[in-house]
Amino acid sequence: MTDDDQKRKTQELVLTPSQQRAVLLQSLRDQMQQLTARLQTVPKERVDEIRAIEAQLEKLRKDVHASLGDTQRL
C-alpha cells in the first residue's frame, strides 16, 4: 500500500459532523428497536423488567434529542 492509498483510506474513515450525527442516530434507533422487541417478549408478570426497559428507551430518546438538538418526539 502506497502513502497515497493510506491517506485516502484514512480520509474515508473521517466523518463529517452531519455523518457522525446520522451514524449516532441510526445506532440509537437500532438500540430502541432491540429494546422494543425485547419488551414485547417479556411476560406481563415481570413489571420491574418492563419498567427498566421503558426507562432505557426513554433515555435513548432523550439522547437522540440531545444529539440532534431537536425536541421532536420519535
Q: In this structure, are residues 52 and 62 in contact, taking their beta carbons and an 8 Å threshold?
A: no
**19-44: average pLDDT:** 86
- The domain segmentation of the chain, as residue ranges, is 16-68
**51-72: average pLDDT:** 81
Closest CA to 67 of 21, 29, 28, 33: 21
Per the model's pLDDT, the better-predicted residue between 30 and 3 turns out to be: 30
In the predicted structure, residue 25 carries a pLDDT above the cut 50? yes
Q: Following CA atoms 64, 66, 69, 73 in sequence, which dihedral angle do they give, to the nearest 10 degrees?
A: 50
Can you give the pTM of this predicted structure?
A: 0.49
What angle (nearest 5°) sits at the alpha carbon of residue 15, between those of residues 14 and 18?
Answer: 165
